[in-house]
Amino acid sequence: MWFGFELAIGIYAAMIGGIYAFQRSLMYYPVKTIASPDVYGLAGVKETSLTSFDGTELQAWVHPASSGWPTILYFHGNAEHLGSRAAKFSAFIDAGFGLIAVSYRGFGKSDGSPSEAGIYGDARAAVDFALHTLRVPHHELIYYGESLGSGVAVQMASERTPGLLALEAAYTSVETRSAELYPFIVGARHLVIDKYDSLAKIGKIKTPLLMLHGEKDATIPVRMGRELFAAAHEPKTLVVYPNVYHADFSNEQILTPLLAEVRKYKLIKPAKH
């Protein structure tokens, strides 16, 4: 009897050790195959290379803003590449927004392997590129984070204030969601290395906030979005769509509230003649 119990404990401990050791392989799903922007119908979008803090080379797509319009610094989600968001990028550009979209390390054509610290460093490289290379003032930047990227956008907004923080399908923390998804693992939240704890940071951010969430989202439940929103400072806006899942927002469902916010906070300036 005791032998069987000890064997079960040993197997369970080995399983936990394996999950801990290989958790980044289980957590991140980087998509490597990606063509140039024009293949996805993004005429005028240029591909460039950024260098992260540790020398990692990153792929980025860039398009200038129309005169007087802000620039969206886009932080993408998991299990995707920039090309998979081409329709969204096209909608941003057609509206007048500028675009800077960076592939995190390990995603797209970017070198390296993903980690929370590494991805934050990649995002800082993108912010630096916007501020110092493209000379976009911080108040003319919109940090837009989708799913995994919501935690990246929150971290960046806690460091360098943008004109607007926009979050799509945002979570409170990866640590909390992991504990919910793996209740059979005792102490699962304490095993998570990359926590992306947006809930601990959102209350320190003073920039205007726009959050979008789908009521039917099973990946990041809307209750997480509501909890994060409740912890945020005013001014803030939450838009919940009753028939939207995790990643099926239409361009209209994104652009309508986004345009309302940039007009509310006067982020669109009259064109200079």
pLDDT in tens, 132-157: 999 999 999 999 999 999 999 999 99
Residue 181 has pLDDT above 80, yes or no: no
For the chain, the average pLDDT equals 88
Read off the DSSP letter of residue 22. T
CA 156 to chain centre: 10
- pLDDT the model gives residue 189: 59
- For the chain, the domain total comes to 1
Domain range for 185 is: 31-264
What average pLDDT score do residues 22-46 get? 80
Q: Is residue 9 part of a domain?
A: no
Task: Quote the CA–CA distance of 58 and 132 in Å, as a whole number.
Answer: 17
Q: Is residue 54 part of a domain?
A: yes
Q: Residue 199 in contact with residue 187, Cβ under 8 Å?
A: no
Q: Residue 192 in contact with residue 178, Cβ under 8 Å?
A: yes
Residue 271 has pLDDT above 80, yes or no: no
Percent of the chain with pLDDT over 70: 86
Q: What is the CATH number of the domain that holds 155?
A: 3.40.50.1820
Residue 98 has pLDDT above 80, yes or no: yes
Q: Is residue 25 part of a domain?
A: no
Task: Quote the CA–CA distance of 270 and 273 in Å, as a whole number.
Answer: 9
Residue-wise pLDDT tens digits, 212-230: 999 999 999 999 999 999 9
